[in-house]
Amino acid sequence: MPRQHGPRRARIAFSDSAAKQLESLTGEADIHALDRALVVVSVDPEAGEPIPGDTVGPQLREYADEVERVRLLYWVTALRTVVVVAYLEV
């Protein structure tokens, strides 16, 4: 019997500014919290709330996890790649 796979996760990519923020993370708790948030948006890219603004470019979204104290700003490409623009601590 063929094995059933769940839905495919979105790929995660980082903008230059988000990559710089990642380089500055040193604490295990911060890295763990970010990892959990990235898993959420990779499984469901629509998990975050749309940020009101210009509709010409990609729609920015914000995902906030108050328990882990993480906030991500990101947009989703047409091929369901999640591009993290910024990782912000709450």
| Per-residue pLDDT in tens (0 to 9) along the chain, 90 residues | 555 666 678 889 999 999 998 888 888 888 888 999 999 999 999 899 998 876 676 788 999 988 888 899 999 888 888 888 887 764
Q: What end-to-end distance do the CA atoms of the chain give, in Å?
A: 46
pLDDT of residue 36: 92
pLDDT of residue 42: 92
DSSP 8-state code for residue 46: T
In the prediction, which pLDDT does 3 show? Answer: 59
- 30, 71 contact by CB (below 8 A): no
Residue 34 CA to residue 42 CA, distance in Å, equals 12
Neighbours of 26 (CB within 10 A): 7
Asked if 72 and 87 touch (Cβ cutoff 8 Å), the reply is yes
Please give the pLDDT value at position 1.
54
